[in-house]
Structure 1
């Protein structure tokens, strides 16, 4: 198991995987559709992922995966 993923939930990992497949920054609804998770849940999980440096918001309301996030799911 990757040491970066030890503290991540299955939902958080699914969100990171979905973001890694996106062509660019994406909103909660897009991420939720790709991950199979309700968008409100995605929104809540993204706050924690952003605080931990796994995702960033290059555009308000849109998220993208960081290098740390990519390493966590590799």
Structure 2
């Protein structure tokens, strides 16, 4: 289940094509913000997304490879 959400978050970020907040990602996925927020730190730790500024996230090259 967590892996599905991770993939969905990365896909949403890739589709948005710009830095996004958890709320924007959640709205794109149609899920509560809390469901997205709790997955962001683990994804960042794995190097699949980055946070250029507090509360804003972008997909990394590693994250894009993960989606392939």
Report the TM-score, using the length of structure 1 for normalisation: 0.84
> Could you say what secondary structure the match of 1:26 adopts?
coil
Bigger share in helix:
2
Normalising by structure 2, what TM-score? 0.91
Q: Tell me which stretches of 4 or more aligned residues in structure 1 moved more than 2 Å.
A: none
Match of 2:33 in 1: 39
**Number of residue pairs the alignment of both structures matches:** 67
After superposition, what is the alpha-carbon deviation per residue over 1:18-63, rounded to whole angstroms, capped at 9, x for unaligned?
0001131100010011122211110100110001000000111100
RMSD: 1.1
Structure 2 spans left out of the alignment, 5+ residues: none
Give structure 1 stretches of 5+ with no counterpart: 1-7
| In structure 2, C-alpha distance between the alignment counterparts of 1:14 and 1:65, rounded to whole Å | 12
1:69 and 2:63 matched: yes
Counterpart residue number, 1:30: 24
